[in-house]
Chains A and B, each alone.
Chain A
Amino acid sequence: MEKSTIICRCEEITYEEIEEVISHGARTFDDIKRLTRCGMGPCQTKICMHLVNKVIHELTGLPFQDIPLPRLRMPLSPIKLETLATNSTSFYAVKSVLDELELEERR
């Protein structure tokens, strides 16, 4: 693929940047996300996930079933903080966030 081709349109990450982090050992979407911001824009991986997985597949030879899904966190799509905070006393805190906190504590 042409190096200048955009893979993540939200964050304007090109094929070349993804190729580079794969050459440094990135093997999953989340690896690439942490190194490049790929997938961290408004679409939250909805457009680039398949493109990135395909690049990983083509460059590393990993079969698709060995390239896991990126972590899909709450809120599932962008939401105003103002909206998210509304009425927040009436229910428990976000499960996935708490799970991650517990994870940190165990470490």
Chain B
Amino acid sequence: METEVLVIGAGPAGLAAAFETASRGLDVTIVDESTVKGGQLCQQTQIIRALPSIFQPMRGFELAKLLTNQLEDFSVRYLLKHRLIGLYRDGSVGITNEVDVFPIKFKKLVIATGAAENAIPFPKWTLPGIITIGAAQTLINRDFVIPGKNSVIVGSSDFAMDVALQLLDVGVNVKAIIEAQSDVLARDKEKVKRVKKSGISFYLNSSIVEARGKDEVSEIDIQLPNKRITEKVDLVCVDGGRSPILDAFYQLGCSFGYQGELGGWIPQYNEFFQTDREDVFLAGNAAGVSSQGAVIVTGMIAGVSVCESLRIIDNREAEKIRISLWRELENIESSLYPDVWQARINHIKSFKYPLLKNQFIL
């Protein structure tokens, strides 16, 4: 199979990159291991406000639909339930649908593989009933399954606040939000206020000592600043933050840098969202974990840069669009997450000085 632009990942970043390229007449193929388009947005029922100026505030799943619908009139081939397995010597990538493996040749590749949630280890954290915060959201909003009756949440990011409210909506008792730091990590103070008003306790400077249970979690010990308490729970939602998914970049020989604020190791890229392999671009959380709105803008920048590199638009035109998109990215990212924005700028500045490179050659 051959395609001009191959996009790995049909989440917000991948769909945005696909729109910028397909709407300018390029032939685009999108690969995603899931059965649906929209990635994590599909189970996000919270209203997302910080979006590129062309979008109104809307719920995640509505945004997923919009990003998908805007591709309808263009030449886009979807390979859902397909995944990337690696790179072949002739430059094509191997894609599998779990029955066959076949190569796809591309002119430009956009990797938008997103981020994965991190675990938080404590004794018996592998007991059933202890899941990530994202898994809890998927269970309620995608699968319509209530994951437990009495729960605690470990971690206090904005995303944890969203899911805490959604758990309450479906009747799950959220006993507490446990945070190791001395302050709530969520930046959206309005949201934190709503969570506090709902009656959920915040245990700051606190952590889980251990979980107990036969076959599944039944109680946990929590170390508070001044005492140790035990809570009876059948659900523990762990919010350990997210980290970019890197295996595709590694396999393609891209180099990496380290930015803690962006999720740790991330591929090295420049202001075009282009890696040090000139035919490989990237977008979204894979380029550094950020908000949904920021993720969409990075997909747009990558898409415009792909069009430029394939000479669909000239350099001047591309530069003009890119400057305005970078301004959007700054607006969205620096308002709530100035440290993320700063890390991104630092990362791009260090494009020529990667910490990890040539991983297949000694």
A residues at B contact (CB < 8 Å)? 1-2, 4-7, 9, 15, 44, 46-48, 50-51, 64-65, 68-69, 71-77, 79-80, 83-84, 86-88, 90-96, 98-100, 103, 106
B92 touches A91 (CB 8 A): yes
What are 24 A-B contacts defined by CB distance under 8 Å? A2-B210, A15-B121, A46-B116, A65-B258, A68-B356, A71-B250, A71-B359, A72-B251, A75-B86, A75-B94, A76-B86, A76-B248, A77-B247, A79-B85, A84-B85, A84-B96, A86-B101, A90-B102, A91-B103, A94-B94, A95-B88, A96-B360, A99-B360, A103-B360
B103 touches A69 (CB 8 A): no
- Whole-angstrom distance between the Cβ of A67 and the nearest chain B Cβ: 9
A76 touches B359 (CB 8 A): no
* Contact residues in A for B94 (Cβ distance below 8 Å): 74-75, 91, 94
A83 touches B102 (CB 8 A): no
* Contact residues in A for B246 (Cβ distance below 8 Å): 69, 72
B89 touches A95 (CB 8 A): yes
B98 within 8 A of A: yes
Given contact pairs A64-B264, A79-B96, A79-B98, enumerate 8 new A-B contacts (beta carbons under 8 Å): A5-B125, A51-B118, A65-B258, A68-B356, A74-B94, A91-B88, A94-B87, A99-B360
Question: Once the chains are docked, how many angstroms separate the CA of A48 from the CA of B250?
Answer: 17
* Contact residues in B for A86 (Cβ distance below 8 Å): 99-101
* Contact residues in B for A83 (Cβ distance below 8 Å): 96, 98-101
Contact (A76, B100) CB under 8 Å given A6-B126, A65-B355: no
B residues at A contact (CB < 8 Å)? 83-90, 92, 94, 96, 98-103, 116, 118-119, 121-123, 125-126, 210, 240, 243, 245-248, 250-251, 256, 258, 260, 264-265, 355-356, 359-362
A76 touches B99 (CB 8 A): no
* Contact partner, B103, options A5, A72, A84, A90, Cβ 8 Å: A90
- Whole-angstrom distance between the Cβ of A43 and the nearest chain B Cβ: 10
Measured CB to CB, the nearest residue on chain B to A98 is B89
* Contact residues in B for A7 (Cβ distance below 8 Å): 121
* Contact residues in B for A51 (Cβ distance below 8 Å): 118-119, 121
Measured CB to CB, the nearest residue on chain B to A78 is B85
Contact (A6, B88) CB under 8 Å given A69-B250, A72-B251, A96-B360: no
Question: Once the chains are docked, how many angstroms separate the CA of A99 from the CA of B125?
Answer: 39
Measured CB to CB, the nearest residue on chain A to B100 is A86
* Contact residues in A for B247 (Cβ distance below 8 Å): 44, 72, 76-77
Most B C-beta atoms less than 10 A away, residue of A48, A68, A74: A74
* Contact partner, A50, options B83, B119, B256, Cβ 8 Å: B119
